[in-house]
Each structure stands twice: as C-alpha cells, then as structure tokens.
Amino acid sequence: MSAFPAGTKIMQAPAVKTEAAIALPNGASVLPLGLSKRKQASSWLATRTRAFAASVIPPLVVIALTLIIWEILCRRAGAALPPPSRVLKETWELIVDPFFDRGGIDRGLFWHLSASLQRVALGYALAATVGIALGTLVGQSVWAMRGLDPLFQVLRTVPPLAWLPLSLAAFRDGQPSAIFVIFITAIWPIIINTAVGIRNIPQDYRNVAAVLRLNHLEFFWKIMIPAAAPYIFTGLRIGIGLSWLAIVAAEMLIGGVGIGFFIWDAWNSSHISEIILALLYVGLTGFVLDRIVAGIAHIVTRGTTAN
C-alpha cells in the first residue's frame, strides 16, 4: 500500500532536477565542479604520497646511515672486513648474473638458493603434514598427550644440527639428511601449537557437531581445522623460520649445492664479500618465506578469530 506514494515521489524528483539544471548558466555550474574535483584528486595524491613517504623514508635513512658507518669503519687500512663499496665491486658479477652454471658447485646464487628452498619445501611440507596430524592427536586424546608430551618436550630442545650426524648415519646421504633436519626442526612448534588450538576449541562448537551428528572426518575438516587454524598457523610460521635457520647450518656441513655451502665455500676461499652478499640473500629469502606463510594465514583464518 505504501509503495505507490513512494513511487510517485521518485518520479517527481528527476523532473525537478532537470528544471534546476536548465535554469543555471552552463559555465557557472561546470567550472567550480571541475576545479573542486581536481583539488580533491590532488589532495588524495598528496595524502597517498605522504603515507608512502612516512613508511619508506625511515628505513631508507637507517640503511643509508648503516652503510655510511660501515664504510667509514672498514675503509681504514688493516680492517678485517670489506666496506660496502668493495663488497659491491667484488660481487658485482654474482649480482648481475645469478643464473650462470659452470657445473659442480660453481653456479649462480639463484641455483644455490633454489636448491636450499627445495630442501626446505620438502622438509617443511613433511613437518606440516605430520605436525598437524600429531598435534591433532595430542590435542584430542588425553592418553596420547600423556604419552607423547614428555617425549616432545625433551626432543624439541635438541638443537637442529645435533640431529645431523644421526640422520647421516641413518640415511647415508646428504640430501635426505638435510631434509630430515628441516623436518625435525620445524615439526615441534607445529605439533605444540596445533595441540593447543585443538584443546581450545569451545565446547559450543563440539555441542553443535554433536547435535548435527558430524562424523570424525567431518568434525576434523569442518570444525577442528578452522577452529584451530589461528593456532596452527602460528606454529607454521615459527616452523618456516626455524627451517630456514636450520638449512643454512646443515648445508655448511653436508656440502653440495645450496646457499649454506656457498657461504662455507666462500669462507674457505676467503671471499668475504661473497659471504656478505649471501647473508643478505638469506635474510631476504627468510623474510619472504615468513610473509608468504603469514599471507596464507591471513586469507585462511579470515573471520575465525573475530567472534
């Protein structure tokens, strides 16, 4: 009933507008409009530029200052480490061509990094799969927790490299040993965080699942994993960081292609500049890995934490 008068009102409105537009002189209405639009656009640009500058300038200043101090300190005769200018000069070939491959270990940095990343990808994927499964078991079953938790608490304190000799003895090869070291390093935070997440699933969700009669598999995928996702991703993020820490150390010992061995090899041939460049690359790669996992976590856990 009320729709009809409302409709008539709407029909009247455009008529009034056209009249107003005709009544106004053309130039008078267009000019101020255009001006204010341009003003708006320029002020928008200004705020964006200011925001960009605010986030970019401080790190640039700090980096520049660090480089200057470093340059001053290492420029003197008899300095043990090269100044940044010399690092750049000596590693220029490595920087501009990361893809050369002269066989053996004489390869560009891209190949070393990619070899390390492949090991990490394999070991980390294994750790994530086994870690989430074990974490779920420990979080869900009191008996599994009582049995396994003491073991976990002791084993997780073993430093990554301490596992290497044992895994070399077991696998008799560098490659699987390195992957195992990644696996055993990354798995503990994943297990522990997953277990905490599972244990913290609110009783309400369990009641909902019970009323709906979800079976174990449905409960796992539809309630447990999403409910524990924020915890699981905390574990995964710590895990990826530890993996990257461990691989560099492990590669120094097992040799072959890999960024860790590249650093060790550079030290043996006294190419200090190459070590510095490699450290920079290791840092940047670790940063990117962490961002990737954080990004996935952000997408997956959207809405989970807010209640």
Partner 1 sequence: MTPYLKIDHIDKSFTRGAFTTDVLRDVSLNVEQGEFVSIIGHSGCGKTTLLNIVAGLVPITQGAVLLENREVNGPGPDRAVVFQNHSLLPWLTVYDNVRLAVDKISAGTRSRSDRHQWTMHNLELVQMAHAKDKRPAEISGGMKQRVGLARALAMEPKVLLLDEPFGALDALTRAHLQDSVMAIHQKLGNTVLMITHDVDEATLLSDRIVMMTNGPSAHIGEVLEVPLPRPRRRLELAANQTYLKCRQRVLEFLYERHSFVEAA
Closer Cβ to partner 1, 174 or 197, answer by number: 197
Beta bridge partners of 103: none
Residue in the block written with tokens 């277990």: 195
User: Rounded to 5 degrees, what are φ and ψ at 201?
Assistant: -65, 125
CB 139, min distance to partner 1, A: 18
Residue 307 binds partner 1, judged by CB under 8 A: yes
Span interacting with partner 1, options 18-26, 116-124, 203-211, 243-251, rule CB under 8 A:
203-211
Residue 298 binds partner 1, judged by CB under 8 A: no
Residue 47 binds partner 1, judged by CB under 8 A: no
Residues 1-20 vs partner 1: string with x where CB under 8 A?
A: --------------------
Residue 204 binds partner 1, judged by CB under 8 A: yes
Residue 304 binds partner 1, judged by CB under 8 A: yes
CB 142, min distance to partner 1, A: 16
Sequence-ordered list of residues with C-beta below 8 angstroms from that of 105, at least 6 positions apart, any chain: 256, 257, 261, 262, 265
Chosen residue from 71, 93, 173, 218 binding partner 1 by CB under 8 A: 218
Chosen residue from 98, 176, 226, 256 binding partner 1 by CB under 8 A: 226
Closer Cβ to partner 1, 106 or 218, answer by number: 218
CB 182, min distance to partner 1, A: 30
Residue 212 binds partner 1, judged by CB under 8 A: yes
Chosen residue from 80, 169, 211, 217 binding partner 1 by CB under 8 A: 211
Residue 306 binds partner 1, judged by CB under 8 A: yes
| Cα–Cα distance measured from residue 190 to residue 135, given in angstroms and rounded to the nearest whole number | 7
Binding-site ranges for partner 1 (CB under 8 A):
204-205, 207-208, 210-214, 218, 222-223, 226-227, 229, 301-307
